[in-house]
Amino acid sequence: MPELPEVETTLRGIHPHLLQQKITAVRVYQPKLRWAVPDELQTIIGQRVLSVKRRAKYLLIETKLGSVIIHLGMSGSLRLCDKGTTRQKHDHVEFEINQQQVLRLHDPRRFGCVLFSQDPLQHKLLINLGPEPLLDAFTAKHLYQRAGQRKVSIKSFIMDAKNVVGVGNIYANEALFMAGISPKIAVGCITLKRYQLLVDAIKQVLADAIKQGGTTLNDFVNADGDTGYFQLKLNVYGQNDKPCSQCETMIIKLVQNQRASFYCPQCQS
């Protein structure tokens, strides 16, 4: 489930509870995640948390000896609870904090991962990532230059983390609607001016969602254990066969790169 706003919300939820605290135990109940949980993870036992950060949709828990890299995949969530709290089905990894609390990774589909690296930003999975969408380095010029004469669709392009990180399926659809751009257009055919509209839309859509505390759909549980069901206003995602909020034309659904796309054929071209 988690798109970038949910990961950012998770970060903000766990950050104050982890900073400067000692990791007193690590328990792995199911090591078979997207990648096997490495034995090296045990290195952090006894270490103090120096910082908790986010890069793309990866959460980084940094200690003097190295960092834990966590990705929530499609269905992952992190929850901080008292040590005695009963473990739930699909709670695969837990970090004990000061012998009192545990940070638990819950992930039914197991597309997430828990890794360890002495230098996480140089890790294979992070080293080639594009700019953070909410920072100034993410510009229209950047997308325009990367697009070149390529023929890939704009929807696929903005969901490719080498171009910009953190744009998942919901927000890709919503940002394209906001920018008035059809998800099917080839990236090489888009003007710099239209890339500016798109960059602005991506920033706004993500910032709005973070402001609301993450979305929305199914199983998001925030770090304090409250269900975070903030229903974001979705203009196109999941709105197929319903009238466009702007022009009343029926929203169309199609499949691109094995992912559902939704758009208004009137407002987006």
Partner DNA sequence: ATGCTAACCTGCGCGC
Partner DNA sequence: TGCGCGCAGGTTAGCA
Q: Which is nearer to DNA, 138 or 220 (CB)?
A: 220
Count Cβ atoms within 10 A of the Cβ of residue 3 and give its class: 0-12 exposed, 13-18 middle, 19 or more buried.
buried
User: Least CB distance from residue 74 to DNA, whole Å?
Assistant: 4
Q: How far apart are CA 253 and CA 238, in angstroms?
A: 8
Q: Which is nearer to DNA, 178 or 236 (CB)?
A: 236
| Residue appearing with tokens 């995949």 | 73
User: Least CB distance from residue 94 to DNA, whole Å?
Assistant: 18
87: number of Cβ within 10 Å: 14
Partner residues linked to 71 by β-bridges: 58, 113
**Catalytic residue from among 22, 34, 253, 259:** 259
User: Least CB distance from residue 111 to DNA, whole Å?
Assistant: 4
**Catalytic residue from among 3, 6, 8, 94:** 3
Q: Which is nearer to DNA, 108 or 180 (CB)?
A: 108
**Among the listed residues 57, 26, 62, 19, the one whose alpha carbon sits nearest the alpha carbon of residue 41:** 26
The token duo for 203 is 């920033």
User: Least CB distance from residue 163 to DNA, whole Å?
Assistant: 10
Contacts of 205 (CB under 8 A, 6+ apart): 171, 174, 175, 178
Binding residues for DNA (CB under 7 A): 1-3, 6, 32, 34, 56-57, 71, 73-75, 89-90, 108-111, 124-125, 148, 150-153, 156, 159, 161, 168-170, 215-220, 257-260
Q: Which is nearer to DNA, 1 or 23 (CB)?
A: 1
Give the sheet arrangement for strand 113-117, strand by strand: 51-55, 58-63, 66-71, 113-117
Instruction: Based on the residue annotation, tell me whether 183 is a catalytic residue of this protein.
Output: no
Instruction: Based on the residue annotation, tell me whether 89 is a catalytic residue of this protein.
Output: no
Instruction: Based on the residue annotation, tell me whether 133 is a catalytic residue of this protein.
Output: no
Q: Which is nearer to DNA, 54 or 97 (CB)?
A: 54
**Are 129 and 161 in contact, with CB atoms under 8 Å apart?**
yes
Instruction: Based on the residue annotation, tell me whether 57 is a catalytic residue of this protein.
Output: yes
**Catalytic residue from among 5, 6, 54, 57:** 57
User: Least CB distance from residue 20 to DNA, whole Å?
Assistant: 28
Active site residues: 2-3, 57, 259
